[in-house]
Every structure is written in structure tokens, then in C-alpha cells.
Amino acid sequence: MWKRQMHTSIVGDFNWMQALDLQGIEYIGGDIVEALTNQNQAKYGNAHRQFRCLDILTDPLPDADCILVRDCLVHFSLAHLEQALTNIRKSKIRYLLSTSFPRVEINEEIQTGYWRPINLQKPPFFFPEPLAQLSDAGKIRSGEHADKSLCLWEI
């Protein structure tokens, strides 16, 4: 497993993260919604699991082996998405595990707060082939977003 800590930027998803065996992992959950981080800290926090109010766009990110950014970047404009990736790159995080849609050919612009699928391997991001790719399509077995994946890259 991870040697140092795992950091995730999606605290709201701790509902499914709590089902994972996190023994031996220092877990830091971050979100911009302070009430949510406080609630999760009270309910799930312990000596190896903490929740912090963090803005992935601007706040220094904690040192970690991996940052899980699930269903977050899809809500950012291209400029904010690049800002988040720049912030991750300047951290001491070794791996990025992020939502990506490999069948998407063009990353469309949106206003931050809206949603669209993104493919981090396509312009303007040009990520290489992921080290690993896990289906995150859930109940979506076919159709427009059946390629939803969690992709792992070294930063």
C-alpha cells in the first residue's frame, strides 16, 4: 500500500471510502466545505484519518504518496482545471488518481460549477497513458459515460 499518506480531495465520498481497508494508511480528506470537513472529522476522524478544509486550486496540499481527485476536475473551467493541476504538481505528492473519460476526444470549456466529462490525455492537458485505469462507471454499463474511469499517473 502507500508508504506515507494518502490524500483525497473529495471528502463527500468518504461514504464509500469508509468501506476500504485503510489500515496502515494516513488518510487526509480535504474539501472546500468546512461544515462537511467538520462533520467528517467528528464522525470518522482518528489518529490516522483527518479531514481538513482545503481548496485544491490555491491551498498548499499535504505531502502524500497519492491524491485522489474523484469527480472534482469535471466541474472546473479549463483555466481552473489547469490551476488545480499546477497546484498538485507543485506539491510533494507522487501520484494522481483522477476521474477521466478516455473516449472523450475534445475537452470542452465550461463555467466552473457546471459539469462535463474530461479526458486528461487530450489537449490542453496531454497526460501520457495512465499507469493504471479502473472503471468507475458504476451502474453505467453502456452509453455515453460508460468509459468513466479512475486513472493513475505519476506526477
Q: What share of the chain is helix, strand, coil (3-state, %, to 5)?
A: 20, 25, 50
- CA torsion sign for 49, 55, 59, 60 is positive
Phi, psi of 21 (to 5 degrees): -80, 105
Interval 29-47: pLDDT, tens: 998 989 989 999 999 999 9
| Structure confidence at residue 23 as a pLDDT band (50, 70, 90) | confident
Three-state SS across 118-147?
Answer: CCCCCCCCCCCCCCEEEECCCCCCCCCCCC
**Does the structure show a pLDDT above 70 at 70?**
yes
SS3 state of residue 48: coil
- Give the pLDDT score at 137: 83
Q: Give the DSSP per-residue string, 54-65.
A: --TTTSPPPPEE
- Give the pLDDT score at 12: 56
Which amino acid would we find at residue 46?
Answer: N
- 20-27 average pLDDT score: 85
Which amino acid would we find at residue 114?
Answer: Y
Which amino acid would we find at residue 137?
Answer: A
Domain ranges of the chain: 5-12+25-133
Grid cell, residue 53, equals 478544509
**What gap in Å lies between CA 111 and CA 119, rounded to an integer?**
17
Average pLDDT, the chain: 88
Grid cell, residue 126, equals 496531454
- Give the pLDDT score at 1: 35
pTM of this structure = 0.88
**Does the structure show a pLDDT above 70 at 4?**
no
| Structure confidence at residue 140 as a pLDDT band (50, 70, 90) | low
In eight-state DSSP terms, residue 60 is P
**Does the structure show a pLDDT above 80 at 2?**
no
Domain 5-12+25-133 has CATH 3.40.50.150: yes
